[in-house]
Amino acid sequence: MQSIHTNKAPAAIGPYSQAVLRNDLLFVSGQIGIDPNTGQLPGGFEHQTHLVFANLKAILDAAGSSFTHVVQVTVYLKDVNDFAALNQIYARNFCEPYPARETIQAARISKDALIEISLIAMK
């Protein structure tokens, strides 16, 4: 198992890796919308969501993968009423065939983020 790390995404805020690669499977830890340059979590669902996808892309790139190789996505929303906005941004990052996905409303996300996304991809 190989740990994946990039400075282009926020550092892990606990004892875990940004991602791990096992054979040809990449498991990316949940990412929230922290700006890796400032370490800050901005306000606004859309802003946070764009940062989440930028952070996920940076980790996928570091592992030699991409959004086209993602097979499964887990989304945690603070408010399920943001589902439509999520889908608009999500559709800009993924294309058919879309990965499998579940979306869950969470009572509280780390650092009081509005969204968190983890994923599994092929290398």
CATH number at residue 26: 3.30.1330.40
Task: Count Cα neighbours of 38 within 13 Å in the Cβ-side half-sphere.
Answer: 7
pLDDT at 13: 84
Range of the domain at 101: 2-122
Burial class (CB in 10 A: 0-12, 13-18, 19+), 80: exposed
DSSP annotation of 118 reads E
Report how far residue 81's alpha carbon sits from residue 101's, in angstroms, rounded to the nearest whole number. 17
How far is it, in rounded angstroms, from Cα 119 to Cα 104?
A: 14
- Block means of pLDDT (10 residues each) for the chain, 123 residues, are 96 93 97 96 96 98 98 98 98 96 97 97 95
Total of domains in the chain: 1
The DSSP result for 9-31, as a single string, is: SPPPSSSS-SEEEETTEEEEEEE
